[in-house]
Structure formats: structure tokens, C-alpha cells
Amino acid sequence: MKAAGGGGGGSKRGWRSLGIGVICLVILSMLVPLVFLLGLHNNFHSYSYSTTVYVNEDPTSTPVHDKLDFRNENQSQDDKSDHLDKLLNRLSPPISKDVIEDVIKKEFKKAGKKDATQVSTEQKRDPPVLPKDAPKSPSDAKKKSNDIVEATEHVKGSSSDETEMSCQLEFGSYCVWCQEHKEEMKDSTVKVMKDQLFVARAYFPSIAKLPGQEKLSRDMKQNIQEFERILSESTTDADLPPHIEKKLQKMEGVIKKAKSFPVECSYVDRKLRQILDLTEDEAHFHRKQSAFLYQLAVQTIPKSLHCLSMRLTVEYFRSHSLDMDLLPTEKYANPELHHYVILSKNVLASSVVINSTVMHSAESQNQVFHVLTDGQNYYAMKFWFFMNSYKEATVHVINVEDLNLDYHGKAFPLRLSLSEEFRVLLRNVNKPPSSQMNAEYISLFGHTHYFLPEIFQTLKKVVVLDDDIVVQRDLSPLWNLQMEGKVNGAVQYCDVRLNQLRSYLGRNDHDRSSCSWLSGLNVVDLVSWRKLNLTDTYLRLLQEQSTKDASLKVGVFPASLLTFQDLVYALDSSWVLSGLGHDYGIDAHSIEKAAVLHYNGNMKPWLELGVRRYKGRWKKYLKRIDRFMAECNVNP
């Protein structure tokens, strides 16, 4: 019996231990998400949706500035945001859609304190700092090289406009968005109360020590306690009790009396400086938190679009009655037709491109659209374009992951790589500090584009369209272009020339006056491409860049520019209007007369963050009668 009793007691203790363990697990499961949401895990840190690049035009500078990397500049020991940096590096592509405009102002501050040989790994994380105008002669080049140094010293020595510039430099396109969506403060009175409370706390210890000022000390203490109680219950002005104006006036009067007495200035100064530092840290923390959430929003597929892709994929496998044999496959390889190539993972975006193109085309029966996508979106794309017609045009959906190319006798598997967008920061030292920096966008071919001649071996010419464009005019004249032996018909962008990128390109055999070119709308002569063997040229240039950094996408920017050097046929600028994904200042007349609208930038038209006044041009080409769009509540 004793043995049985002892066993029963042990069993009860075992159940009690198990119950305590379960309760601990429940508490931990509640605390971990709460800690993450509040940003308490090492704080939130911002990372611009872009790639960090070093461009230094001073030939006497150290070679580390020619490298390209991804870390943000805020890497000091006092910064507790390393964890989020790593998270964002995983979240964003290895080389994102920008050449980041994170010019590190901390580097400029440290430059006066550190010798050039003391530049650490964190100090190698600069984006391109380029002079606005390209030099036109060797003497000009030398002068511009000196301008880089002057610009650096100018920023280093300036303080009046540093606050104005710091947001754009540190957080990139988030600052453009938040300025356009600035909301009226709902806690202005609460902030005034906090300021008064800080000042009262700073003066109170000194007033409490003054003989004969017991009443003032008592009044100040009562006001401090009352403000603390109110602020513990109020976060916005709507939460404040009635007659708060009288309390503010009373506190202001008490502080005014306190300031009239001689106090320990050193203590008050120290206390107010502490308060200022805390306030600045708090403001910077919230800005980093907001920039991170913005960054997350522009990189995340909206829930409705994800739902649409999944629903289409499920429906594809449920619909056994689909007769794919009816597709006009003979058109896919016919070189006499007009072939358009779209690389996309977005069903709606590619649909808008095709719909807007055929709507303005006089002869849609000659148009063949090749949509290159990945395995995840292949079946959704295939079902969508099988169920939807676009006049008499033909749509051919290709899964690039199923293409095992035979390249030089070796199997060459492909993974989908879309066009890359780079943001280059231009610096003009002849302007005031607040306006001397200007961000310019350059969109270039991705890695997959350079295998188009191998994918479409029977075709002679294709027009490559990005999936973030809208066509407003007939594109048929592009097929009659005489490209004069050039390979890539593109709109040139002469605000950024190869000369301005010479230290980053790492080569001296390029034409320094050559302009950059833009993707979005490109006429590609595949015959000339194969004849010049440009795919091998690109891979060789990419290999040269890989010696500096192991990432594949790192070398796309210089390799793309150098591959088509002297091989770009300049299209008239009226063909493409760029900037609708980042520039709020484009006038309606320019939008109206452009043949193609390019929504390059972070604010894509299918995102909630898209620029509203440009969205209408994109949305009118959506097919809104689709039941799957209604079920997924798709309403960009």
C-alpha cells in the first residue's frame, strides 16, 4: 500500500510539472510574436530596396571603392539593428532593383577622424556618387575627378542641410513616399505636454534645493505628477481630458518661474541633452521602423494577387477539359510574325502589357507574345492566357526552369531573372547641399535576357517588354527599324554616362561619352546578337565582376552596360516615358503623348503604395470581368 501511495504522489508531481511546462510554453508563444511586432528584438533597422555600389572617380583613391556590396552604413557599435540588417539582406534580392542611394553620411563624419588606411569593412558600403555632368575631354575628366573630393568635403563640413538630406540618403525612396503621404499629426498636444514635462523634470531638482521656494517646488512636483498621470493614459489628443489648455498654461507658468531663479546650469544642460538624445533616438527608431515596413510592402506580393495565382493554379489542374492542342503552336517559331517577349511572375502585370499592346495594334493577328515565367507561376499564367483572349494575338507561356539549353555542348539550366532597376545618386557640388544630390533610375536586362537567342533559335528579331509598362500607341513601326548593324534598340539615358561609372566598370577601353540605355521597350536583333556572340561577351564580363563579389546579380549592372557598348540603336525619347514608379512630378501632357509608360521604381501600379494619379492608365487595361479576380478581391 505504501508503494502504491508513493507512486500516486509521484504521478501527481509529474502531472504538476507537465502542467507548469505547458503554461510556460503558452506564455513564450505569446511573448515571441509580441516582441517581434514591437521591434524590441535588437530594434528595427532600415535597408533601402537597392544595391550598395562603390564608385570613386579619384584615381588616387584606394581600390576598395570599386566594389559592390549590400550592407547599410549604420554599422556602429551603438546601433543595435544588426539582426534586421541580416533579415533584410535575406528578404531583398542579393542585388535589388536599385543602385542604392544610401550615401553614407557617417562615413563623411568619420573621414576627418580616420586615416584612409583605417577604412573598415563597414566603410566600404557606399553607393555611386557621381558628378551630374559627364566630362567631355581628358582635362574635364581630371577636373571632375577633383570635384568628387570637393563634394565629399563639402558634405562633411556642412551641417545646415544635413537633416534635410539625411532621410533621402539613408532611407531612399521611402522618404519620397512619406513626404507625399504626410498625414496631419494627431498627437501634437501630447508632444507639447511631453516637452514641458521634460523641461520641468530638468529644473525640479535645482528648484527643490532653493531655500524659501517650497511653494514653487510643490507646485512643480504636482504638475509633473499630473502630467505623468495624463500621459500614461493618453497617446493622442483625442485621449486627453477636457480643459487641457489650462493645465498646459499652468505648467508653462511654473517653468517660467523656475527659469527666473539661478539654478545649476550644468545639471539642467546635461539633463536636457540626455532628453534630446533620447528623443532623436526615438524619432530615428520610428523612422527606421516605418522604412522597414515600407520596404516590406514594396517587396511583398499583395495578398489578393497571391490568391489569384493560387486559384488559377488549382483551377488549371481541376480543368481536365482544357484542349491545349487547339493552341496555334506553328506561330511560336514563325520568324515572319511580330514576336514580343515578356519576363514576368505577375499574371495581372503581363496581362496589362499584352492587352494594352493589342488594343492599339492595327493587325493583332500577326502578334505573338512569349511570356517567360518561373515554375511557381507557370500554370496560373497558362490557365489565364488560355481562358482570356486578346483580339487575334497569340500568347505562348514558357517555364524557363524547363528549358535545359544546350549551350556550347553543355546543359545550361535557367532560372527566371527579371529586369533589374538601379538607382544611381548623382552629386553636383555647384548646387546648394540640399539640392546637389539627385537620384536617377536605370533599368537594365536581367540575367535571363542574355539567353534569348538560345531560347528563340528560329527568330530573327524580338521586341522585349518589361511587365511594368503600359502601351499607348501602335508598336508596329518598331519592326521596320533599320538598326544599322546595332543589336539593342533602346531609349538612351544620357544623364548617366559610362565616364561617370568608369571606376566602377573597372575597364578603360569603353567610350566614356557613351550614354546608359534603359530596358522597358527594347528591339533586339537576334541575328546580329548571334553573329557577335554577345552572350559569351556578357558571361565573360560577368565572370570578371565575380572576382570582386560572389553574387551573380552583382555584376549585371556593369556587364549589361559594357556588353552593348557601341551596339545600342537610340530610339526616340517619345517612345518611352520612365519614372511613373517613383516620380510624382510628371506632367499630364508628357504622359499623354508617350507611346509607352514605364512604371520603373518601387511604387508599382498594382501595389497599394503605387502613385495614385498614374494608376488609372494601368488599371483601365485590366480584365475586370474575371470571376477569380472577384473571388480574390483583386482591386489594385
Q: Which stretch of DSSP H or E encloses residue 61?
A: none
Higher pLDDT, 363 or 181: 363
Q: What is the pLDDT of residue 32?
A: 56
Contact between 357 and 631 under an 8 Å Cβ cutoff? The reply is: no
Hey, what's the cell of 226?
Answer: 499630473
User: What pLDDT is recorded for position 141?
Assistant: 33
Q: How many CB atoms lie within 10 A of CB 301?
A: 14
Query: pLDDT tens digit string along 520-558?
Result: 999 999 999 999 999 999 998 888 876 655 455 667 888
Provide the pLDDT for residue 289: 86
Q: What are 535-543's contacts with CB under 8 Å, separation 24+? A: 535/407, 535/450, 535/451, 535/453, 535/454, 537/563, 538/450, 538/563, 539/450
User: Would you say residue 11 has pLDDT above 80?
Assistant: no
The amino acid that residue 186 corresponds to is K
Q: Quote the pLDDT of residue 625.
A: 67
pLDDT value at position 462?
96
The grid coordinates of residue 446 equal 536581367
Confidence (pLDDT) at 233 = 87
pLDDT at 342 over 50: yes
* Candidate from 37-51, 249-263, 381-395 with smallest mean pLDDT: 37-51
242: left (phi > 0), else alpha (psi -120 to 50), else beta? beta
Question: What pLDDT, on a 0 to 100 scale, did the predictor assign at position 54?
Answer: 32
pLDDT of residue 286: 83
User: Which pLDDT score, from 0 to 100, does residue 508 have?
Assistant: 60
533 CB-near residues (< 8 Å, 6+ apart): none
Q: Which of 84, 98, 51, 109 is nearest to 285 (CA)?
A: 84
What is residue 580's predicted lDDT score, i.e. its pLDDT? 92
DSSP for residue 55: B
Mean pLDDT is lowest, of 136-145, 186-195, 333-342, 602-611, for 136-145
For range 309-314, the mean pLDDT: 93
pLDDT of residue 375: 92
- Indicate if the pLDDT at residue 56 is higher than 60: no
Q: Supply the pLDDT for residue 278.
A: 81
pLDDT at position 546 is: 67
Average of per-residue pLDDT across 476-487: 92
Average pLDDT over residues 311-334: 81
pLDDT bucket at 236, cuts 50 / 70 / 90: confident
Q: For 179-200, what is each residue's pLDDT tens digit?
A: 777 767 778 888 889 888 888 8
Q: What is the pLDDT of residues 206-226, one digit of tens each?
A: 888 888 888 999 999 999 999
Query: How confident is the model at residue 554, as a pLDDT?
Result: 65
Residues 445-467: tens digit of each pLDDT: 999 999 999 999 999 999 999 99
Closest CA to 524 of 563, 479, 458, 555: 479
Of 381 and 626, the one with more pLDDT = 381
pLDDT for res 617: 93
How confident is the model at residue 149, as a pLDDT?
21
Instruction: Give the integer Cα–Cα distance in Å for 58 and 145.
Output: 5
Residue 627 is placed in which grid cell? 470571376
Tell me how far apart the alpha carbons of residues 490 and 463 are, in angstroms, rounded to a whole number: 10
Q: Span 287-305, mean pLDDT?
A: 86
| Residue of 298, 301, 299, 307 whose CA lies nearest to 633 | 307
Can you give the pLDDT at residue 156?
Answer: 29
Q: Select from 478, 477, 482, 490 the least CA-distant residue to 449.
A: 490
| pLDDT-above-70 percentage for the chain | 70
Q: What is the pLDDT of residue 413?
A: 81
Q: What pLDDT sits at residue 43?
A: 41
> Which residue has better confidence, 310 or 132?
310
Q: What is the pTM of this model?
A: 0.69
Assign 60 a pLDDT band (cuts: 50, 70, 90): very low
